[in-house]
Amino acid sequence: MLRVLPWAYLALALAFIYLPVAVLVLFSFQGGALPVPPFDGPSGQWYAEVLSDEDLVGALWRSVAVAAGSAALAVALGFGAALGLARHVLPGALAVRALLIAPLTVSYLIVGLGLLILFQRLGLGPSLWAVGVGHVVINLPLAFAILYAAMGAEQERAEQAARDLGAGEAQVIVLVTLPMLAPALLAAFFLSVTLSWDEFIIAFLLSRFDVTLPVEIWSLLRSGLSPRLNAIGSVVFLVSVAAVLLVEALLLRRRRA
């Protein structure tokens, strides 16, 4: 009895965790117009409908663009800051680190609201660019933290060894620092992509017409339950899961190396 208990708990917990996902995906193949039991599929009509919906596909591409762009910028900024703070003695380094990490402890809603007010004061209207700026703000701390943690003593010694063997500063970065950090850089990038891709509230506050996918889904929600939403949701989930598994594989490879 006692030996079964842990496994029973695991099974129950997994059932709870996967229940909404299973329902979401299952009823995306629903035949009828309502995503509730009984299941009368499978049918691919909702996916076909979603993929031919120009608004949705447009939002999807905007989400991809914002995610990729903001993640790339966040990783570039985070890399510079991590290198600067890990390899150079700067006065007030502790305060700088704290400031760079600070956005992590503030709700996205507040980050978005602050930017909305600032942009309004500056006379800048809502746009996809504003959303990108907001997403860099929330992803920069993560990228910085991941890269800073990866620049440990082992890596510093390797950089020193390269200098000892005659490498200049640029050569050290290109030939040693960047290749050694590659897994961490990719992990930071894909984590940022995932968070930006899923982010709703900042995108909702800072965009108007050129919305991202989560905002488009939000507005579709108002028209009630529909297998169409299940189909979109399943696609979004699939993309996120692919990115997460990619990160996982990269980190795993790094640990083995």
Partner 1 sequence: MSAPGAVALTGIAHRFGGATALTGVDLGIAAGEYVTLLGPSGCGKTTLLNVLGGFLRPDAGSVRIGAEDVTDRPAARRPTATVFQDYALFPHMTLAENVAFGLRMAGMGRGARRARAEEMLALVGLGGLGANRPHMLSGGQRQRVALARALAVQPAVLLLDEPLGALDLKLRRAMQDELKTIHRQLGTTFVHVTHDQEEAMAIADRIVVMNAGQIEDDGPPERVYRKPATLFAAGFMGEMNRIPGEAQGGKLETAFGVVPADGAGRHVLCLRPEAVGPGRTGLQIGPAKVRDAAFFGTYIRAHLEPRAAPGLILVAHLPPGPVPTEGAEMDLGADMSDLNIYREP
Partner 2 sequence: MDQDRRRGWALTGPALVWTVAFFVVPFLVMAAMSLATLEGRELVWELSFANYGELAEKAYLARAIQVSLEITLTVTVISVLLAYPLAWVVAFHIPPRWQRLALVLAILPFWTSYVVRSYAWLLVLAREGVVNQTLMGLGLISEPVTLANTRLATVTGFVHFFVMLLTLTIYANLVRLSPNYARAAADLGAGPVATFRHVILPLTLPGVVTGAFLTFVLCIGDYVTPQILGGNTELTVPQVIMVQLGRRADFPLASALALVLMAIVTLAYLASARWLRLDRV
CA distance 217 to 226: 11
117 class by beta-carbon count within 10 Å (0-12 exposed, 13-18 middle, 19+ buried): exposed
Which of 34/174 has CB closer to partner 1? 174
Choosing from 9, 179, 241, 245, the residue that interacts with partner 1 (CB under 8 A) is 179
The residue count for binding partner 1 (CB under 8 A) is: 19
- What is the distance in angstroms between the CA of the first residue and the CA of the last residue of the chain? 42
Among 14-22, 143-151, 177-185, 216-224, the segment contacting partner 1 (CB under 8 A): 177-185
Choosing from 77, 171, 210, 240, the residue that interacts with partner 1 (CB under 8 A) is 171
Place of tokens 């488009």: 216
Q: Interaction with partner 1 in 111-170: which residues (CB under 8 A)?
A: 154, 157-158, 160-168
Which of 41/114 has CB closer to partner 2? 114
Q: Which tokens hold the place of 41? A: 């599929």
Closest CA to 196 of 69, 85, 109, 47: 69
CB of 158 to partner 2, least distance (A): 18
CB of 160 to partner 1, least distance (A): 6
Distances (CA, A) of 249 to 79, 165, 184, 190, 253: 21, 33, 12, 12, 6
Q: Which tokens hold the place of 152? A: 């440990």
CB 160 within 8 A of CB 110: no
Which of 149/221 has CB closer to partner 1? 149
The entry of partner 1, partner 2, none near residue 154 (CB within 5 to 8 angstroms by kind) is: partner 1
Residues at the contact surface with partner 1, assessed by CB under 8 A: 154, 157-158, 160-168, 171, 175-176, 179-180, 182, 257
